[in-house]
Amino acid sequence: MHHNINIILGIETSCDETSVAVLNNGTVCSNIISSQVVHKEYGGVVPELASRAHLKMIVPIMNAALAQAGFSLEDIDAVAAVYGPGLVGALLVGLNFGKSLAWSRRIPFIGVNHMEGHVYSIFLEDEKPEYPFICLTVSGGHTDLLYIKEPLTYERLGRTRDDAAGEAFDKVAKMLGIGYPGGPVIDKLAKDGNPFAINFPRSYARAEHYDFSFSGLKTAVLYYLRDRNLLAGNGAPVAKSPELNDICASFQQAVVDTLVEKTRRAVADYGVKHVGVVGGVSANSRLREVFQNMASGNNSNVYFPRLEYCTDNAAMAAYAGWLRLIDGETSPASLAAVPNLNIA
């Protein structure tokens, strides 16, 4: 069943990005992202402030997305909005806005799983992976290794047992006193550092599963900094240390090594030729290099979203919603936000 739905308005408000996108037949016409800056001074996202900022921004962001796409509300065939996982108050803003908009215009509505949105972020590019493929989702809240046999179906091979990959970047950046979110700052500082200067622990020793763990690595960085009096907040911040670049590069290398090792094994075990790496951490430049090397080593094809689609955005949600809508699926007006929504 192929439903005649072309122009989709997508909404994403699960965390600290207010984003609205317009897609026409799977092609992005606009993808407006407003990143909330109020959280910076707290070193992390403050849920109540996030909800309020979404409320303030949702209408102007929607208008900007429509204007850039060159459409008006009358042109929209359906609405897709993320309903989980995420912060409940933040999710409610986009979800309720999306449901009301669809209801008022008498057009279909679909709720989207944010993690499914991340997976389909690579489908916003011209070169799309073929099924089956392995997808590594690395964001601030998730580290999932998925086996995707056919569209919109997920088998989870592995997940993190403690911190998410992005969370590890953010926590280490906090120890270093170099700002939030930590990923982009560490990525930048690491460019002038030696990734093999400090041998931080890798947690792939136990090879019998595909799960990840980053808390040991995080603790190792903490002890390293504490032993050298470099911990942020204890007097001199490490930001002045000549070692800063090496610390960032070595930590980053340890994260990337762990991620690529498990992925490489899954690719071999499942005999797949296509691999996606998605989510905020997939923006990491060293990660991209190392996964490209893996792909040339095992003859696979690796797909990354462009940077705009790595971190949270509405275009990816609109695409995933569109796939479901053209398959005849819609969500009821009673759909509730699900903060801990799973993908598999």
Q: Which is nearer to Zn ion, 139 or 250 (CB)?
A: 139
The verdict on 141 binding ligand KG4 (CB under 6 A) reads yes
Q: Please give the structure tokens belonging to residue 137.
A: 């989702």
User: What does the DSSP 8-state code read for residue 233?
Assistant: T
How many positions of this chain bind ligand KG4 (CB under 6 A)? 19
The verdict on 193 binding ligand KG4 (CB under 6 A) reads no
Given 108, 129, 177, 183, the residue binding ligand KG4 (CB under 6 A): 183
Chain position carrying tokens 């989510």? 279
> Can you tell me the distance from the alpha carbon of 321 to that of 117, in angstroms, rounded to the nearest whole number?
8
Q: Which is nearer to Zn ion, 82 or 248 (CB)?
A: 82
Chain position carrying tokens 């429509």? 66
Asked if residue 137 lies in contact with residue 115, where contact means CB atoms within 8 angstroms, the answer is yes
The verdict on 98 binding ligand KG4 (CB under 6 A) reads no
CB of 184 to ligand KG4, least distance (A): 5
The verdict on 140 binding ligand KG4 (CB under 6 A) reads yes
Q: Which is nearer to ligand KG4, 15 or 230 (CB)?
A: 15
User: What does the DSSP 8-state code read for residue 59?
Assistant: H
> Can you tell me the distance from the alpha carbon of 68 to that of 59, in angstroms, rounded to the nearest whole number?
14
Asked if residue 201 lies in contact with residue 253, where contact means CB atoms within 8 angstroms, the answer is no
Q: Which is nearer to ligand KG4, 299 or 340 (CB)?
A: 340
The verdict on 144 binding ligand KG4 (CB under 6 A) reads no
H-helix or E-strand spanning residue 218 = helix 215-227
Task: Outline where DSSP puts E strands in the chain.
Answer: 7-12, 17-24, 27-35, 78-84, 109-113, 133-138, 143-148, 155-159, 274-278, 301-303
Helices (H), the chain: 47-69, 88-105, 114-120, 165-176, 182-190, 215-227, 244-270, 285-298, 307-310, 314-325
> Can you tell me the distance from the alpha carbon of 84 to that of 337, in angstroms, rounded to the nearest whole number?
6
Given 97, 123, 169, 212, the residue binding ligand KG4 (CB under 6 A): 169
> Can you tell me the distance from the alpha carbon of 84 to that of 340, in angstroms, rounded to the nearest whole number?
7
Asked if residue 85 lies in contact with residue 116, where contact means CB atoms within 8 angstroms, the answer is no
Given 116, 163, 261, 312, the residue binding ligand KG4 (CB under 6 A): 312
Site residues, Zn ion (CB under 5 A): 139, 312
Q: Tell me which of ligand KG4, Zn ion, none is bound by residue 144, counting a contact when its beta carbon lies within the kind-specific cut-off of 5 to 8 angstroms.
A: none
The verdict on 279 binding ligand KG4 (CB under 6 A) reads yes
Q: Which is nearer to ligand KG4, 139 or 203 (CB)?
A: 139
Listed ranges 212-220, 225-233, 256-264, 274-282: which one lies at the site for ligand KG4 (CB under 6 A):
274-282
CB of 141 to ligand KG4, least distance (A): 4
Q: Which is nearer to ligand KG4, 210 or 214 (CB)?
A: 214
CB of 86 to Zn ion, least distance (A): 8
Site for ligand KG4, rule CB under 6 A: 15, 139-141, 166, 169-170, 181-184, 187, 279-281, 283-284, 311-312
